[in-house]
Structure 1
Amino acid sequence: MLNLSWLAPSQREDGSVMVLSDIASYRIYYGTTTGFYQNQFDVGGGASVQAQIPRVPVGVYFVVVTVIDTDGLESTYSPEIIVTTVKA
Structure 2
Amino acid sequence: MAKSPRKKFRLSLCVSLVAMAMVAGCGGGNSLGEASAPVDGTPAAAPAPSTGSISLAWVAPQTNADGSTLTDLAGFRIYYGTASGSYSQVITISSPIATRYTIENLPPSTYYMVLKAFDTNNNESQASAELSKTIN
TM-score range, shorter chain: 0.7 to 0.9
Give the match for residue 29 of structure 1: 79
Give the match for residue 9 of structure 1: 61
Deviation at 1:17, TM superposition (A): 1.9
% identical aligned pairs: 33
Give the match for residue 63 of structure 1: 113
CA distance in 2 between counterparts of 1:14 and 1:38 reads: 31
CA distance in 2 between counterparts of 1:14 and 1:56 reads: 38
Work out whether residues 81 and 87 of structure 2, in 8 Å CA contact, stay in contact via their aligned partners in 1.
Answer: yes
CA distance in 2 between counterparts of 1:14 and 1:55 reads: 39
Deviation at 1:64, TM superposition (A): 0.3
> What is the TM-score of this pair, normalised by structure 1?
0.80
Letter in 2 for 1:66: K
Give the match for residue 79 of structure 1: 129
Letter in 1 for 2:65: E
Q: 1:38 aligns with which of 85, 88, 95?
A: 88
Deviation at 1:41, TM superposition (A): 0.7
Deviation at 1:84, TM superposition (A): 2.8
CA distance in 2 between counterparts of 1:68 and 1:25 reads: 6
CA distance in 2 between counterparts of 1:84 and 1:5 reads: 18
Residue ranges of structure 2 left out of the alignment (5+ in a row): 1-52
Between Structure 1 and Structure 2, the one with more strand by share is: 1
Structure with max Cα Rg: 2
Compared CA separation, residues 13 and 56, structure 1 to 2 (3 A): farther
Compared CA separation, residues 13 and 58, structure 1 to 2 (3 A): farther
CA distance in 2 between counterparts of 1:15 and 1:84 reads: 37
Aligned residues: 84
> What is the TM-score of this pair, normalised by structure 2?
0.55
Report the aligned-residue RMSD. 1.6
